[in-house]
Amino acid sequence: MSKPPLGSTYRKSRPAIKVVQFGEGNFLRAFVDYAFYKLGKATSSPYGVAVVQPLPKGMVPVLAEQDGLYTVFLQGISQGEKIDTAQCVDTIVKCNDPYTDFNGYLELAHAPELEYIVSNTTEAGIALDPTDTFAMEPPNGFPAKLLRLLFERYTFFKGDPEKGLRIIPCELIQNNGEQLRECLLKLTVAWQLPEAFKNWLLASNYFYNTLVDRIVPGYPWSNTQTYADRLAYDDKLMVTAENFFLWVIETKDDLAERLPFEKTDLDVRFVTDQQPYRTRKVRILNGAHTAMVPFGLMHGIETVSGAMDDALLGAFVREAVLQEIVPYLGLDQEEGVRFAQAIFERFQNPFIEHRLETIALNSISKYKVRVLPSTLAYIDATGELPKRLVFAWACLLRMYKGQWQGKDMPIKDNTEVVSKIQALWKAGDVYHFTEQILAQSDFWGKDLSDNQLLRFGLSNALQSLECGDTAQAYKQFMNSKQ
């Protein structure tokens, strides 16, 4: 028996538009829209979201067909307990495709209760398209679309300083709010917009740097029926996500009072400096990922959860993070340990299949940003070698040789990077290779070949791998003298 489609018959209310959102993808729906849904419930003051499709082809037609409704499945582990919940989210009250309804797009700026702009247009979204003009309906780029909306609001409300907006981008780039503001200012000059509008843009609108953290696998393609069987309706846009949630917003104004997320169970932090949170995430979560990938792949492990469940790899990851990364972050130690323990739980999420191969993309540049700073911080603080992080480095370099135990390794990197590493492998013995690879400042940001401790340690780690067995090599290296 077929189920009724999810749509307007399931909607209980249609609150006024307080948020315009650029992007209709899985992440925003399972993160931002879910957050505003929870906030609305907690404060008995619902938030209506108008979604704008930022690209010509998107999901707005399907979303509109379901009247903005969809189901979020939250799944994971919290304090040792499995979490598996389903919630129909009704925050989205209007859907707009500016490519087919540009006038409708501009009319969103007229919403009297509109206060916020949120976005997730990917890391490439906060950038200027040189072909964009004011007359285009719509312009191509996200900043240009946003500026047209803001200019429409400025014009409609006759420059009222009370009608400015609070702009909260979620794109995963550093200082995303500041970068977006700079794009808009450049466009006001390029488009020769009035100086009065520029003044309103700067004085009446607020731009926030943010950091978002939640793994959102999205639509459950591999086991759709399992999820569909749990619903009384047919949902084409159901989305799966982990239960972990962190939203860090850098602000020095009253945004925390305007958005009282402390009344919810969501971890939303309003801080004066988000950089420590970014450092923590990059060094611990991303660093652990990057460190486990080559070791895990060479050890025959395929997924993150598989690595955490393996006795050798699981201990390696936990010890690397807690002994070699967290103590040298320059941040609060107790907070760092709590964050790390939460990361371990996330890595063990039985509902998410996070394959090591997918994380392996561009591993050299990832090691430089995510792991090398921890390696050098440990050496600077102790005068000793962080053996686990160095062994991970050795595994990475050995993996880039091409084969391990007769099998091709999944190397996914810039061809010039791979070619250079493989050429160095052919040019000499392990010690010579180590000296030459550490000298590649284009890989590591500087020449590291003069660091004797690092040169000696990495060389020993690579030499231990010559036995052809990762477990034996790791044990041998950990027991060796520095």
161-186 per-position pLDDT tens digit: 999 999 999 998 889 999 999 999 99
289 assigned to some structural domain: yes
Q: Burial of 79 by CB count in 10 Å (0-12 exposed, 13-18 middle, 19+ buried)?
A: exposed
CATH of the domain at 75: 3.40.50.720
Please measure the distance between the N-terminal and C-terminal CA atoms of the chain and give it in whole angstroms.
69
8 Å CB contact between 36 and 91:
yes
pLDDT confidence bin for 193, thresholds 50/70/90:
very high
The tens digit of pLDDT for each residue in 206-215 reads 999 999 999 8
Rounded-to-integer distance, Cα 105 and Cα 51, Å: 10
pLDDT confidence bin for 79, thresholds 50/70/90:
confident
The tens digit of pLDDT for each residue in 324-345 reads 999 999 888 999 999 999 899 8
Average pLDDT of the segment spanning 438-453? 95
Number of structural domains (the chain) is: 2
Domain end position, chosen among 271, 286, 313: 271
Structure tokens at 77: 């582990």
Shared domain check, 279 and 266? no
pLDDT confidence bin for 28, thresholds 50/70/90:
very high
Q: 475: alpha, beta or left, given left = phi > 0 and alpha = psi -120 to 50?
A: alpha
Q: What's residue 1's pLDDT?
A: 63
Per-chain mean pLDDT for the chain: 94
Q: What's residue 457's pLDDT?
A: 96
Give the orientation angle of helix 470-479 with respect to helix 452-464, to 10 degrees. 140
Q: What's residue 8's pLDDT?
A: 83
Rounded-to-integer distance, Cα 276 and Cα 282, Å: 10
User: For residue 36, is pLDDT > 70?
Assistant: yes
8 Å CB contact between 357 and 324:
no
30 assigned to some structural domain: yes
* Residue type (1 letter), 432: H
User: For residue 482, is pLDDT > 70?
Assistant: no
Burial code (b: 16+ CB inside 10 Å, e: under 16) for 231-253 equals eebebebbbbbbbbbbbbbbbee
Rounded-to-integer distance, Cα 433 and Cα 436, Å: 5
pLDDT confidence bin for 370, thresholds 50/70/90:
very high
3 assigned to some structural domain: no
The tens digit of pLDDT for each residue in 296-327 reads 999 999 989 999 999 999 999 999 999 999 99
Whole domain around residue 193: which residue ranges?
8-271
Average pLDDT of the segment spanning 118-141? 91
Percent of the chain past pLDDT 90, that is, above it, reads 79
Tell how far CA 10 is from the center of its chain: 32
DSSP symbol at 418: H
Rounded-to-integer distance, Cα 92 and Cα 111, Å: 15
Shared domain check, 225 and 346? no
Phi, psi torsion values for 240, nearest 5 degrees: -100, 145
Q: How many CB atoms sit inside 10 A of residue 207's CB? A: 22
Shared domain check, 264 and 364? no
Question: If DSSP codes are grouped into helix, strand and coil, which group holds residue 311?
Answer: helix
**Any alpha helices (H) in 259-370, and if so which ranges?**
275-280, 287-298, 304-309, 311-319, 333-347, 356-359, 363-370
List the single range of 195-199, 225-229, 358-362, 365-369 with lowest mean pLDDT: 358-362
CATH of the domain at 384: 1.10.1040.10
Q: What's residue 413's pLDDT?
A: 83
Average pLDDT of the segment spanning 20-46? 96
Q: What is the pTM of this model?
A: 0.79
Q: What's residue 100's pLDDT?
A: 96
